[in-house]
Structure 1
Amino acid sequence: MKFSLTAQDKLSKARAGTVTTDHGDIQTPIFMPVGTAGTVKAVHQRELADDINAQIILGNTYHLYLRPGLDIIERAGGLHKFNGWEKPILTDSGGYQVYSLTDVRKIKEEGVTFRSHIDGSKHLFTPENVMDIQRVIGADIIMAFDECTPYPCDYNYARHSIEMTHRWLQRCCDRFDNTQPKYGYNQTLFPIVQGSVYKDLRVRSAEVIASFEREGNAIGGLSVGEPAEEMYAMTEIVCNILPEQKPRYLMGVGTPVNILENIALGIDMFDCVMPTRNGRNGMLFTKNGIINIKNKKWEDDFSPIEADSDLFADKVYTKAYLRHLIHSGEILGMQIATLHNLHFYMWLVGQAREHIIAGDFYDWKNIMVKRLGQKI
């Protein structure tokens, strides 16, 4: 993998760049739609590529490991062949899912023992076998196995956690560097900075992660309940340490406002379930703010979902019709809302890139932040 910088904003740390992988280029800043089980819910691959203009999607090691299982994925020739997506894929290591399984997992130095949410069967994730699993899945960018601490988190727990995460990272790197890709194209390993909302721990973790000199770096353990101001403060601290010549990925973030503010701090890559999950429940993100399409005010609004959008669904379907579909529990309603939100997120990061290159990102960002957070 290669990363090249195209432009840097003068009034912020926002930058535009290109990540080059064997499955194609990724223009940053970028949002990655979440395809947890090998699919972005309610969206065809053709729609992802042609209508949403997604450049990379995200899969999840934990979920794919449990179902369909490694044997099926390997026999298919890797996740790209299995799901028909020809562009880059990134896989989360499963660390966040392990974090969310508080009642059915145990964390030890060896790794994490957990029970499947599907059938209750017992499993063990270690830094080594998580690397092996992601080799089988075959994503272009794979994540190191880490512990994602909750919020709030006791300082001593957070300190012990990052120390273990750093030890796990060394084991991840050793295994990754002593194995080979399975499907004839290269894979890249990203370490993950942790440390909860403690400045000294974030500094320490960022310095350790940077010292491994991998091709890219990630920031985890944010957007887990902490105030947005804490998220921005930790992101700024870490971005000041992580090397400028490598892409920075902020995991699990977030709202459109979160994305713009973090781009301004130097983040290049984002993922979040918000546009798809919220869309399926009737929340639409638009250029002028947030719409709850379930509200009665849209019942007889026969205007297009977003008239100035270039997405066919935004121009063909009306707010009233989409409201009817969502209230009726129709699958088409979930599809339309998901398409709209993902298209909007891709439009947003695309506009951010254009304004960075044009040299007026900071002023544009400040205008958009005020607009995007309001409820319509």
Structure 2
Amino acid sequence: MADVQAVLERCDQAFLDPYGDAEQPECVESDRVILYLMDSRRIQKVLWRQLSVLDSMMSLLEGLESSQQLLKQHCPKNIENKAHARWKALKAETVVGVQETEALISVLQGRLEQIRSKRNRLTQLVQELRDKKEKREQLEGSLQKAQNALRVCGGQLTSVRAEVAAVLDCLANWQLVRDELHGYVSATQDVMQSNLLSVDQSELCIEQRPRLCGSLGSSELEPLKLTVSLSPCDRFKLQVHQSTAGVEEECMKGRLMELSADLLEVMQHYTSQGDMLAEIQSLHSSFAIDWNPAQRLLVYLKSASVMCSLLVEDGYPSSGRAKLQSIRRDMQAVDVTALQPPRDNMSVTEWLLFLSCSPLV
């Protein structure tokens, strides 16, 4: 122990009493911890210095040739200053190293931030790539559907073309029929004085001017309008329009070869009533009349409140007569017993003139 004490006196007097005064007052737990840490630091410094002294001693002993040289050699000076200078140099190197490390850490942090940014961008690009892949798959599905629909449309187009070809063939046949009908119509016009008003693919509108053999001229009887509708299998439908001609509307059907006979029958029926119909048609311009061919009733509206009805018998004017059926005023029947016509067998025209001039009506 004496040798150790001598060595400590030669190195530093502060090592002699490293713990200071042992008689310290008791403190709270926190003060104890602080003191413990300070003591630990002080002990570490002592140990570090002891190690420095030991290192110096070992270096010194290695340089001696004998133990007598140690006793004769004087104590080296400024040992602590050299160690302190070396410690300062190491501390400066440490500071420089820390600064370089901090600079490298800053650079690494910048690079790490760039890496994070690039990773985020890469994640976005990957997501965009996935979205584009999904869109591409959807487009491929739509393209496949469109191609399938195109193939189906191609098949339908082929079928439609075949149908169109069949329709064109049928149309050619209809055109032949139409041309043949034009020939029939031209021949009929020459014989029956007919006019072709309109022509459609399946319908003809004809106007016939009949010839009268009675007392009235043929120009006094209005033309009769007919519609001929054609159907497949050489069938037809003949529609007679009443309009102002005064005939009953009727419809006839049959085979196409029977069309001429039916037209002749309609015209014979029309001309058989030619004298009566011509008279009634001529009266439309002078009197407010309405002719009902089904009931053979002629209604004469003298005024807004007076309405007269004439019954025209079948066979008029040769065998039938025109009779006054009723007179209504304000929708009420009027007694016609006091009404005396100038003669018994009067025509429709004479009846209308008599009723229009009679003060009793």
> TM-score, normalised on structure 2?
0.16
Structure number with larger C-alpha Rg: 2
More helix by share: 2
Task: Between the two structures, name the one with larger relative contact order (CA 8 Å, sep ≥ 6).
Answer: 1
